[in-house]
Homo-oligomer: A and B are copies of this chain.
Amino acid sequence: MYLRHADLWRAIDDLARDHGYTISALARRAGLDPSAFNKSKRGSPDGRLRWPSLESLAKILDVTGVTPLEFFGFSAPTGTDSARGQLRLLPTMGQREASEREPFDADGFPVGKHWDPLPFPELADRQAYGVTIAGDAAEPVYRDGDIVIASPRAALKRGDRALVRTISGRMIACAFIRRTAGKLEIRPFGAAPETHDTRGIAFAHRIVWASQ
């Protein structure tokens, strides 16, 4: 079953929340009855499942400005094989803003509300995020304005492109060389290899996509 009852209703809940509505407010804004998405409208007392109609769905997509494609990207169940071929909205932020703020948690995963959603094809890593390159430090590989998509969970091997964050907040796009117990070796693009003490490094994430 590609389109599952529970996923669909979760996606509607997410849609409302992400646009600052309660489910009753969303229904009202869409011209529906406020109770249209009530719990009692999602299943009968006898256990039979109830589905919203496509007409209702079309109306709430319109008032939230979400396309059907994005919505069904949202509705992809998490952490299952059925997510294959699905789309995601990837949190994305400018390189400078990412340096000035602290938009990562202790594990190096993106958190907070300053990220902009970028629709993107399936990535195995649900923690992936995007950063817009600022300046020419990463020339000639990345140019000002390029977007790189980083995957915190992806394994890094020699030669991979990586996005490294220092504990001071600096975000460095580079080629990964190796990491040992106490040292991280990287080669910033267009520069000589560097060795960093890992105590000064917040994380190194593999770059999986880049705009050109």
Chain B CB within 8 A of A67 CB: yes
Per DSSP, chain A at the interface is mixed
A162's closest neighbor in chain B, by CB? B212
Whether A69 contacts B67 by the Cβ 8 Å rule is no
Q: How long is the Cα–Cα vector from A22 to B209 in the complex, in angstroms?
A: 37
Q: Which residues of B contact A211 (CB under 8 A)?
A: 208-209
Whether B2 contacts A68 by the Cβ 8 Å rule is yes
Q: How long is the Cα–Cα vector from A87 to B206 in the complex, in angstroms?
A: 24
Q: Which of A35-75 contact B (CB under 8 A)?
A: 49, 51-55, 57-58, 61-62, 65-73, 75
Q: Which residues of B contact A52 (CB under 8 A)?
A: 54
Whether A212 contacts B209 by the Cβ 8 Å rule is yes
Copies of this protein in the complex = 2
Whether B119 contacts A122 by the Cβ 8 Å rule is yes
Chain B CB within 8 A of A85 CB: yes
A130's closest neighbor in chain B, by CB? B121
A58's closest neighbor in chain B, by CB? B3
Which residues of A are at the interface with B, using a C-beta cutoff of 8 A?
1-4, 8, 49, 51-55, 57-58, 61-62, 65-73, 75-76, 85-88, 118-122, 140-141, 143, 148, 159-161, 206-212
Q: How long is the Cα–Cα vector from A62 to B161 in the complex, in angstroms?
A: 37
Whether A73 contacts B69 by the Cβ 8 Å rule is yes
A65 CB to closest chain B CB, in angstroms?
Answer: 8
Q: How long is the Cα–Cα vector from A211 to B127 in the complex, in angstroms?
A: 17
A182 CB to closest chain B CB, in angstroms?
Answer: 27
Q: How long is the Cα–Cα vector from A161 to B210 in the complex, in angstroms?
A: 12
Q: Which residues of B contact A69 (CB under 8 A)?
A: 69, 72-73, 76, 85-88
Q: How long is the Cα–Cα vector from A207 to B211 in the complex, in angstroms?
A: 8
Q: Which residues of B contact A8 (CB under 8 A)?
A: 54
Contact A3 to B68, CB < 8 A, known contacts A208-B211, A212-B210:
yes
Q: How long is the Cα–Cα vector from A55 to B4 in the complex, in angstroms?
A: 9
Whether A2 contacts B54 by the Cβ 8 Å rule is no
Q: Which residues of B contact A88 (CB under 8 A)?
A: 69
